Amino acid sequence: MNDPRYIKLAELLIHHSTQLQAGEHILIEAFDMPREMIVELVKVVQAVGGNAHVAIRDAQIMRVLQAGGSDQAFETWSAYDLERMKRMNAYLGLRGSHNVSEASGVDAERQQALSRIYGIPVHMKRRLNHTKWCVLRWPTPAMAQLAGMNTEAFENFYFDVCTLDYSKMAEAAEKLVAVMNETDQVHVQGPGDTDLRFSIKDIPAIACAGNMNIPDGEVFTAPVKDSVNGVIHYNTPSIYRGHSFENIRLEFKDGKVVGATADQGEEHLEDIFNSDDGSRFVGEFAIGFNPFIKEAMKDILFDEKIAGSMHFTPGNSYDDACNGNKSEVHWDLVLIQRPEYGGGTISFDGEVIRKDGMFVDERLLDLNPENLVGEPICC
């Protein structure tokens, strides 16, 4: 008999995240996933009268295809996957991982080519803008190891995080959306020499509460492209293009990254920021508030939702919160502002709205952990 948690998650993904309707088509793209979860998803899709389509992916095979693939191969791959995506009303990306560094060693030029030829037309332009989509990780021993937990404990944590009351979160998040939509100037202060200023004027804020990512818990927008000035010192690790990074520090002038250092991975920064004309500008500013996610685990779908965090993302902006910046890069880098991580503030138009990871603006108190889960979450 299947784990009942699989059934609960499948129902959440189909009924809440994608809100699939009878007659609609959904693509389930599954990377290194247990077949039992895919079976449950197909059953729930069929129960609502939907049409399930499944693509099984293997990370080791994907690495070989990428490492030795020609532009011609990528173009054909892109063309047939794009045609399939055009026929979909919804998309689920389920991403297991037996080895989070599987992509390491792949030439940077091949990574950039696949992103440009395949990722941008299939996902950035088509899937993001024309389907109801949701992306999530799957708990594996590799992820448990990154989180510093045993496999059973991590699975329990995963299903708690992924199946919380997202309706309650969505209602609270809309209050932050309203505040951000009224805001011009943002000032971020934090650990190290973090002191960053930018505008978000007239760029829409979007709430994410289980509809596009699982787990979820953020409101995002984008900075006015040329408005970013100052320094941000990210205090969480990151894995990007198969490489590990620690303590990345970025310096901005008139929106552009003019200085970049890191304690680990610094040798790869120039390749990333020279990817294209948009890779040195920022495409997203977001505030994270999932009450169950407290520590970084080098998995961005979790880390960008950390309670008391924010992320400030070099690269592509989303069409629904667009500042005009387009890039093959979209690198979510996270700063935690809770006291044990050095604290910090976020101010909107000169007024502090969050201090040391806790919302202090009376309009936003419902987004603090004790109000999202009903009781305080200890560290």
- Give 185-214 pLDDT, tens digit per residue: 999 999 889 999 999 999 999 999 988 888
Q: 132, 162, 192 — which closes off a domain? A: 162
Is position 206 within any domain? yes
How far lies 39's CA from each of 3, 7, 14, 268, in Å?
A: 12, 10, 13, 40
Residue where the block lists tokens 């760029």: 203
Tell whether 158 and 214 lie within a shared domain.
no
Tell whether 156 and 188 lie within a shared domain.
no
pLDDT, residue 247, reads: 97
pLDDT, residue 1, reads: 56
Tell whether 211 and 264 lie within a shared domain.
yes
pLDDT at 363 over 90: yes
Rounded Cα gap, residues 373 and 67, in angstroms: 44
Tell whether 117 and 170 lie within a shared domain.
no
Q: 105, 133, 162 — which closes off a domain? A: 162
Q: 116, 143, 162 — which closes off a domain? A: 162
pLDDT, residue 18, reads: 95
pLDDT, residue 108, reads: 86
Is position 378 within any domain? no
Q: Count structural domains, the chain.
A: 2
Rounded Cα gap, residues 78 and 120, in angstroms: 9
Tell whether 224 and 367 lie within a shared domain.
yes
pLDDT at 162 over 80: yes
pLDDT at 243 over 60: yes
Is position 379 within any domain? no
pLDDT at 374 over 70: no
Tell whether 158 and 170 lie within a shared domain.
no
Tell whether 99 and 217 lie within a shared domain.
no
- For residues 50 and 164, the model is more confident at 50
CATH number of the domain residue 67 falls in: 3.40.1830.10
| Range(s) of the domain holding residue 335 | 166-373
Give pLDDT tens digits for 49-61: 999 999 999 999 9
Helices 35-47/4-11 angle, 10° precision: 50
pLDDT, residue 143, reads: 84
Give pLDDT tens digits for 85-121: 999 999 999 998 888 778 778 888 998 999 999 999 9
How far lies 358's CA from each of 146, 184, 338, 339, 371, in Å?
A: 26, 21, 8, 10, 11
Is position 188 within any domain? yes
Q: Which helix (H) or strand (E) holds 168?
A: helix 166-181
CB 248 within 8 A of CB 258: no
Tell whether 244 and 353 lie within a shared domain.
yes
Nearest to 305 by CA among 339, 346, 334: 334
Tell whether 233 and 288 lie within a shared domain.
yes
CB 219 within 8 A of CB 206: yes
Rounded Cα gap, residues 364 and 182, in angstroms: 14
Is position 224 within any domain? yes
Rounded Cα gap, residues 53 and 92, in angstroms: 10
CB 14 within 8 A of CB 46: no
Tell whether 206 and 350 lie within a shared domain.
yes
Nearest to 18 by CA among 88, 87, 86, 90: 90
Tell whether 211 and 76 lie within a shared domain.
no
Tell whether 119 and 251 lie within a shared domain.
no
Is position 354 within any domain? yes
Is position 226 within any domain? yes
Read off the pLDDT of each residue in 292-297 and give the average, rounded to a whole number: 90
How far lies 311's CA from each of 197, 234, 287, 333, 335, in Å?
A: 14, 9, 7, 5, 6
CB 262 within 8 A of CB 275: no
